Structure 1
């Protein structure tokens, strides 16, 4: 029987036991119980238990095997009953109980039993105790774990498995120095030891330390260490981590490419690096995909703002009948939030599992509906939550803010108790005031905030600037800079508002100060240069426009972000770039643009050349350039459908320009079609009355 069990032939061992039952003794009964435990054969184990003699039932080894068997088969009550009936308990019985509690995810029971233990503990019990304390990490577990570790005999610390468990426990307690001290004391470090330390560093967000230890390791790394290194590189995603992550992956033995979990970690890392093609290649090499591999890929597309690819992968999952878990549902909801189109959101929501008790899903749904302009859906979910937390409140406030519902956001903010309002809730309500032009309310709220942060001050500066109160905004910046370093976003907010008010002197002052204070912030300086160019153009300062454009190209190159818009027609998500002619119906789209343009001009619309930031080409006109903006193409595409729509929804990657904003208000009125455009900053509801929800505070 022992040979059969050692070779994992448990069923054959039991068959042999049955044939020789008449001559079996305590040892064979013990082996049979072990085989039942391995097979989780509850009925067979009960039958053996019933066949045991009184003498056998008093045997310490049999009692321990019975405890182990019942714990393995999840009959906790029976295991505890046997354990309680034994007067003189052994350390092995405690070990069986400890292991059973851990395997049944009851670490608190380990701690309870340890505190009443009546035998001298051995190294095995300490290892399991540390495991239980690490799993719980509550005040009782932390105190017991620390006290036990401090009282350990020096001889115990020669056990590498025990020290590894102590390192793991200390790291989970946040006792990084304690873990490092234990690590340094180990003379012969193993891969498990390095893994425990690296994982601990990652757990404590010390990613650089994890990577330093990985590079310091002289042993041959295994899949566990590679996986931790990839996770640390992904979490950092700075230039140094990107280089190390790529180098480590390419130098890793190719045999590890057969380890799906490790390859999936690499996929996550490359997605965080923005290396989508490498991630896609690795994903294609996985022979059998699971919910986990799909989840990592979908989340990777989401973080790289590729929502269409998220939805395509979702369709593939459905065809392969792969389970959609809550993490994938969250990623899909996030992808829908990026697309921001109601019909797409509705379609996905109907196809994924949603738990009404999952606060993360509900909060994500509020965010999604808010970003798709369906404030009623967001409000309905919010009101269905019996005890919304602060994150849920701020998500709903953000939904109101994006949709120009400042008063509703303020009302919700006032319902949050003063003692639990935090930085994010303050920012949310100030943004809501800013987008709705509620300057008096914003000042009242700002003045009551005890502890302001850079983000809170920036939100107030944005609000003041949007309302043309630049003296107050500048004073706020000066006050902030008396005790803090200058902040780029504050200047960008003021410059953006100054552009709307066509204040040349102030704009030049802000732009020059930004160049002086933030010389390395290329992307922001490009945006600032374009804003200043807009102002020059709006006032007819053509020479200045030319000069600043030449300067921009000389300093930054022709580094511009192309305008992109998405819309949904007949269940299909369609993408347009500015001046796009790649669509099969391109001729019809541009013919519709001509019709729309004529209607606009008939109703008094004049195209505003100040929103053009480059020289016109020979064949171009002001009208053709502005009509080629991505959202206008999306609007025209919707109008060539039959029947003609009464509702259009568009999502845009950039902020809507002033000409498109005025034109869309007029199109909504002329064509009697409600149009929703979500730009990079907010959501615009263009009503059939010719008004926009932003009240022109964009």
Structure 2
């Protein structure tokens, strides 16, 4: 009586006063503890009862097993199972049902099914328990198997049978079949079954069917309303979920915490701040805000609506925060680019003694990725290793963050430690190499990836194409293109754009256009990629024609499109067209130019020797000129020997970007061209003091699917003797037959003429060209890529080589592509 009235203390006092206790007395107390939510005390009392020598009966076992289920105590459950076997109670249906319930609750489904099979019972409760056990553990197929066996055993299903079976349905066909069985059984108007049908159809994205069933529910309870609310939210119908929430209130139904959580999620996902604040106010008015799950959802809603100040306020109002609260607020800061605040919140969580979960670690890593905070990444790496966290998503994120932070060795070592790599693991490592300029390593890893039997996905293909483009590895790029065609993979806009870029970067702009032209529905990125491809190859007129065609198809350009256009004009000396496009961007399309657009136009004007106009353009910029703008102006001043403007550009450049060695080299070259050797030496001393080093000239060539790299005056190649001998033969032939004379003015060092000739002779692109002539058949094209701008002497040398050796030569330097054929270059000697 006391227990039923909720007075557990009175029940305990009365029980303690009893001098003699029978099994019935103990059973009453077990029931009191279980009913009043204190299962641990029931288990303690059971142990005392056994020590007291009072024998347990079937009701005892059933009560205590319920307590074991409540706390997940499988050890006590097994002990009672042993006792039941010993005392012959294992044949009792109630005991068997309770044992199956314990094993299911403790995730020992093998033991549960073993008991179930041995019982041979036609008890519908036992069948329901078994179906529910599998459904609750995400084993839908097994649950439906038991449901079918139940049908074959001619056991009549109940409401709870259908509810459990519908929970197990992840496929529409199974759900429809069970729905048909429900109709046949006459339980279609049962509220619990109807609620389960709403959830099932929602999971299968059949929202109209879910809504029809919901409408037919006569006596809706909170579960009915919440099931339909969740259905709308899960299927992205956020406005309908808000309408339904208002309908709940109009119907006189009081929304509960589950209702609030669903509708707040809808507001967050749709970025509906005003309605989100309205629901927050409703929760506050109805004293639901302090509920932990509601509080966490409010924090998440404000994070998704990009209101971090409101998010922080809501977070602070949660009285007892759990790890989900901290994970949500940290993720919210990261989503809104408040990375420093995310790290500070993490430190606060550690002070509070909060357990770190995988989601929190992932958010932290994303913050470190942006902040380049490598010390914390290493700490997290150590934490993951110590805790033996083998979550593949987390491991892949660590590799990605190390790569983004430039720590390639750490990324590689961590990648090797991943025992079971998936396609994302391999793709992340390939992308890491590409991001850090290690295209050779990226391509090498892609071979291992294929050999390991990993099926390339679109992300992997994009990364490998990027590596092939960086190295101008045409053969590898063609292999990937063939793979896409062979596997009948969808040539989406992103892959098509990457193929256009890859073929252009490998010197075959015609193939770029074929890929571009093969696409029926072209997006802006694809158009821009093709415009950029023409620009890279000095085909500015074609780039502008393509842009006009894009305009005629009513596709609006963006900043990147205009950048590609201005780049194309710059490398084709289309000064008037460049100015027109720059003005159209501002006045026709109402776009504010980026510093990069100014840099392109300055470069265009500078190449055309319009230095005063270029300088005025720089001075007219609304924002401070960037280093790229001053570099463009400085490069033009060096070419046209305008020291006055050049020195202004140099001062500004070193003030903005004093740690970039390329800037010192560019200024040094300007002084060297004017034979101001003392200034050159001063700059070199400044570089030495700052410990800055110039990037050496480097060229590479792909021969027989392998990329060979050459550095200026390098002899590390295994065939270097043959290469230098061939280069001497080429030089001799060009001097005697073509009138080639080294233009030593391009050597920007204060050394003797003989030494200058030697320095020109050892330029990296010449070594690559010599190797190409040695190793490729006569009259086949030679493709070379260089990391720096080709000097004027090498340009002349390559023109003559193409004529006297009857080769088409494609050279990609830091500025553009040069197509040499019959002694003429596509750039028209303008680069």
1:190 to partner: Cα distance? 2.0
Instruction: State yes or no: 1:347 paired with 2:479.
Output: yes
TM-score of the aligned structures, taking structure 2 as reference length: 0.75
Say which SS state the counterpart of residue 235 (structure 2) adopts. helix
Say which SS state the counterpart of residue 151 (structure 1) adopts. helix
Say which SS state the counterpart of residue 574 (structure 1) adopts. strand
Instruction: State yes or no: 1:511 paired with 2:650.
Output: yes
User: Hey, what's the Cα distance between the residues in 2 that align with 1:252 and 1:68?
Assistant: 35
Where in structure 2 are the equivalents of 1:226-245 lying within 5 Å?
226-237=361-372, 241-245=373-377
User: Hey, what's the Cα distance between the residues in 2 that align with 1:697 and 1:186?
Assistant: 67
Q: Where does residue 476 of structure 1 map in the other structure?
A: 617
1:299 to partner: Cα distance? 0.9
Instruction: State yes or no: 1:520 paired with 2:661.
Output: no
Instruction: State yes or no: 1:295 paired with 2:436.
Output: no
Q: Where does residue 697 of structure 1 map in the other structure?
A: 830
1:559 to partner: Cα distance? 1.4
Q: Residue by residue, what CA displacement relative to the aligned partner does 1:580-602 show, whole Å, maximum 9, x if unpaired? A: 10111110000011111112322
Contact kept, 8 Å, 2:260 with 2:283, in 1: the verdict is no
1:677 to partner: Cα distance? 1.1
How many residues are paired up? 678
Q: Residue by residue, what CA displacement relative to the aligned partner does 1:83-134 show, whole Å, maximum 9, x if unpaired? A: 99744635x9647844873587971278557827676544345445555665
- Larger CA deviation: 81-90 vs 589-598: 81-90
Contact kept, 8 Å, 1:427 with 1:459, in 2: the verdict is yes
- Which of 431, 439, 455 aligns to 2:575? It is 439
User: Structure 1 residues 419, 276: CA separation in 2 closer, same or farther (over 3 Å shift)?
Assistant: closer
Instruction: State yes or no: 1:266 paired with 2:367.
Output: no
- Which of 154, 164, 167 aligns to 1:65? It is 164
Q: Where does residue 568 of structure 1 map in the other structure?
A: 702
User: Structure 1 residues 491, 597: CA separation in 2 closer, same or farther (over 3 Å shift)?
Assistant: same
Contact kept, 8 Å, 1:508 with 1:532, in 2: the verdict is no
Contact kept, 8 Å, 1:167 with 1:179, in 2: the verdict is yes
Where in structure 2 are the equivalents of 1:130-529 lying within 5 Å?
130=264, 137-138=269-270, 147-152=278-283, 154-217=286-349, 218=351, 219=353, 220-237=355-372, 241-250=373-382, 254-256=386-388, 258-351=390-483, 355-417=489-551, 420-449=556-585, 450=587, 451-453=591-593, 454-480=595-621, 483-515=622-654, 517-518=655-656, 520-529=658-667
Contact kept, 8 Å, 1:466 with 1:497, in 2: the verdict is yes
Contact kept, 8 Å, 2:468 with 2:476, in 1: the verdict is yes
* Unmatched segments (≥5 aa) in structure 1: none
The CA RMSD over aligned residues, in Å, is: 3.3
1:565 to partner: Cα distance? 1.2
User: Structure 1 residues 343, 424: CA separation in 2 closer, same or farther (over 3 Å shift)?
Assistant: same
Contact kept, 8 Å, 1:404 with 1:435, in 2: the verdict is yes
Say which SS state the counterpart of residue 810 (structure 2) adopts. strand
- Larger CA deviation: 308-317 vs 28-37: 28-37
User: Hey, what's the Cα distance between the residues in 2 that align with 1:145 and 1:74?
Assistant: 37
1:331 to partner: Cα distance? 0.8
User: Hey, what's the Cα distance between the residues in 1 that align with 2:197 and 2:583?
Assistant: 62
- Which of 620, 630, 634 aligns to 2:764? It is 630
Q: Where does residue 39 of structure 1 map in the other structure?
A: 139
Q: Where does residue 613 of structure 1 map in the other structure?
A: 748
Contact kept, 8 Å, 1:435 with 1:697, in 2: the verdict is yes
User: Hey, what's the Cα distance between the residues in 2 that align with 1:252 and 1:32?
Assistant: 37
User: Hey, what's the Cα distance between the residues in 1 that align with 2:171 and 2:279?
Assistant: 27
Q: Where does residue 108 of structure 1 map in the other structure?
A: 235
User: Hey, what's the Cα distance between the residues in 2 that align with 1:642 and 1:252?
Assistant: 50
Q: Residue by residue, what CA displacement relative to the aligned partner does 1:424-451 show, whole Å, maximum 9, x if unpaired? A: 2122111111111111211222232323
Contact kept, 8 Å, 2:139 with 2:168, in 1: the verdict is no
1:230 to partner: Cα distance? 1.7
Say which SS state the counterpart of residue 709 (structure 2) adopts. strand
Where in structure 2 are the equivalents of 1:57-96 lying within 5 Å?
57=158, 59=159, 61-71=160-170, 75-77=174-176, 86-87=188-189, 89=191, 94=195
User: Structure 1 residues 149, 501: CA separation in 2 closer, same or farther (over 3 Å shift)?
Assistant: same
Say which SS state the counterpart of residue 274 (structure 1) adopts. coil
User: Structure 1 residues 648, 512: CA separation in 2 closer, same or farther (over 3 Å shift)?
Assistant: same
Say which SS state the counterpart of residue 828 (structure 2) adopts. coil
User: Structure 1 residues 16, 510: CA separation in 2 closer, same or farther (over 3 Å shift)?
Assistant: closer
1:254 to partner: Cα distance? 1.9
Q: Where does residue 670 of structure 2 map in the other structure?
A: 532
- Larger CA deviation: 598-607 vs 243-252: 243-252
User: Hey, what's the Cα distance between the residues in 2 that align with 1:532 and 1:555?
Assistant: 21
User: Hey, what's the Cα distance between the residues in 2 that align with 1:545 and 1:485?
Assistant: 27
* Unmatched segments (≥5 aa) in structure 2: 1-99, 207-230
* Greater relative contact order, per chain length (Cα 8 Å cut-off, separation 6+): 1
Where in structure 2 are the equivalents of 1:107-126 lying within 5 Å?
107-108=234-235, 115=244, 120-126=254-260
Contact kept, 8 Å, 2:493 with 2:525, in 1: the verdict is no
User: Structure 1 residues 605, 503: CA separation in 2 closer, same or farther (over 3 Å shift)?
Assistant: farther
TM-score of the aligned structures, taking structure 1 as reference length: 0.88
Say which SS state the counterpart of residue 436 (structure 1) adopts. coil
User: Hey, what's the Cα distance between the residues in 2 that align with 1:179 and 1:284?
Assistant: 39
Say which SS state the counterpart of residue 152 (structure 1) adopts. helix
User: Structure 1 residues 169, 152: CA separation in 2 closer, same or farther (over 3 Å shift)?
Assistant: same
Q: Residue by residue, what CA displacement relative to the aligned partner does 1:370-402 show, whole Å, maximum 9, x if unpaired? A: 211211221122122222122221111111100
1:266 to partner: Cα distance? 2.2
User: Hey, what's the Cα distance between the residues in 2 that align with 1:573 and 1:640?
Assistant: 15
Say which SS state the counterpart of residue 232 (structure 1) adopts. helix
